Amino acid sequence: MKFPRSSGVLLHITSLPGGNGVGDLGDSAYKFVDFLAASGQSIWQILPLSPPAEGDSPYSAYSAFAGNPLMINLAGLVSEGLLTQTDIDETQHTTSHGGSTGSGSSHDLASSPGGMAATVSAPAVSPSEVDFVTVAARKEAALNRAFERFQNTASHPLRSPLLAFCKKHASWLEDFSRFEAIMCHLDESDWSKWPMELVTRQPTALAKWDDQLSEAIHYANFKQFLFDRQWQSLKQYANDAGVRICGDMPIFVAHESADVWANQSLFAVDENGKPTLVAGVPPDYFSKTGQLWGNPQYNWDALEKTHYHWWTERFGSAMRQFDLLRVDHFRGFEAYWEVPASARTAVGGNWKPGPGTKPFDAAREALGDLPFIAEDLGLITEEVHHLREQLGFPGMRVLQFGFDNADDDFHRPNTYPTDSVGYTGTHDNDTLVGWLKQRKPSAADPLKSWIAEHDHAADEPVYWQLIDAVLQSDSDTAIIPMQDLLGLDNAARMNVPGKAKGNWTWRMTDSAITPELIEKLRGMTERANRA
């Protein structure tokens, strides 16, 4: 697809200010859309919306289709007649239950149904953090109250819309809500440790547990309905303001997910539900020992026999939620790094051929054009580039990767092709200011000489010059992380690959967006012909 020349900002929902300890789908999200429109931006890129299975990471979710209830705005439930302000105030004193795994997911609550640093100048904006465990407990307490009020109001106007939602999304919602109800009841997210009758999904056992946990299943449906209702309202507001939402789809799903449990034949798991082959990547510029993600590999032969139905359903769900979609770890469709489940690192894995264009071809037959962006970072071969070109997806170029080697200019803004998306950095990178402060350039620093050679807003701090360079590049699309626009250092970094805990917590402050920032960004965007 041909993307129009445009630009946008990367900021995850949980990083928004306001709310009750975590960014959500309330007023701050609508105000952020207003900021994007006022500053000439037409894309809002976010991270996956799915409920995290472990370590708070949205890239390891217990559903590829569901939304994260942490993002539900409680004030919006007051206007729906589901909560009162008193309910919200009282539940904000709720603390997390003992024995929490710390993932921040609702299932934690088992009782619930360089050398250039001197040139860097940045505004004084202090980042704040999300305490996922505490926030999850408080949000769950409030959502429980909302559900109780809904159940006790026979004539509530949301009853018919809820039934319609459940019917429309039954293909994934039925197993998801069953999974979440059982997971919470047993206080066990690893479904391979459930009673064997559930591991093997015996129909009589499923019927028995559906009856036993009917209220919890209804509650799971209810939360997904509320999330979807608020998300679709926000997306419509953004689209009406000329802002497209760019989502993010991890190629893999967590083993502890409704997707793997309900579709075991499509994944590399044994007869007891245990993974046999898992995903990761070999050593690259993110990690010297590679990354062992632990997600079960796909059984691509079995998927092909279904004409990739599961993938078409997944792509279709994403296209309903988003206007654009970044497909994470795109190279896995050409070849993927397969690691035995017993391995302790990813170093001993092997490359295996992927399905190529087949899942996308099947999806196009059913869905039409696919407005996708291929995340083609890491160890990328000519075969991966060829696959991306066959499919017509733009790839990614990341400025921070462009100055490690004086002879490698692939990621330097002056080389970006039109069919690409240019970034200063991604959620896996340090912030631009943090990167600048920690660089240890050689005497012949390629960044220093490049800046001197390319006049980009020369009277601005270095990080603004680099933002301007990406905006001025030939890439059809340019995306700047919000932390870079704010000039924040590595205290505002979103994720450190390979670090198990402490990621995903950064939040923007209420005072971060100023008229001066809007004016500066709009001016740069207009000069780059992207507004």
Dist. CA 179–CA 173, nearest whole Å: 10
Query: What letters, b where the CB count within 10 A reaches 16 and e where it falls short, cover 389-399?
Result: eebebbbbbbb
Query: Catalytic site residue 375?
Result: yes
Whole-number Cα distances in Å, 381 to 331, 335, 372, 398: 9, 10, 20, 17
Catalytic pick among 56, 328, 468, 484: 328
Dist. CA 106–CA 110, nearest whole Å: 8
Burial (CB count <10 Å: 0-12, 13-18, 19+), residue 265: exposed
Q: Show Cβ contacts of residue 311 under 8 Å, excluding neighbours closer than 6 positions.
A: 303, 359, 362, 363
Whole-number Cα distances in Å, 273 to 173, 200, 263: 21, 8, 11
Query: Catalytic site residue 328?
Result: yes
Decide if 142 contacts 91 (C-beta within 8 A): yes
Catalytic pick among 428, 445, 460, 474: 428
Q: Single out the residue of 360, 374, 192 nearest to residue 267, CA to CA.
A: 192
Q: Single out the residue of 332, 334, 239 nearest to residue 30, CA to CA.
A: 239
Dist. CA 48–CA 318, nearest whole Å: 10
Catalytic pick among 24, 56, 87, 375: 375
Helix, strand, coil tally for the chain in percent (to 5): 45, 15, 45
Classify residue 230 as left (phi > 0), alpha (psi -120 to 50) or beta.
alpha
Q: Single out the residue of 47, 13, 55, 106 nearest to residue 295, CA to CA.
A: 55
Does an H or E element contain 479, and which? strand 477-481
Decide if 508 contacts 494 (C-beta within 8 A): no
Structure tokens at 421: 């998306």
Would you please indicate which residues are annotated as catalytic (active-site) residues? 328, 375, 428
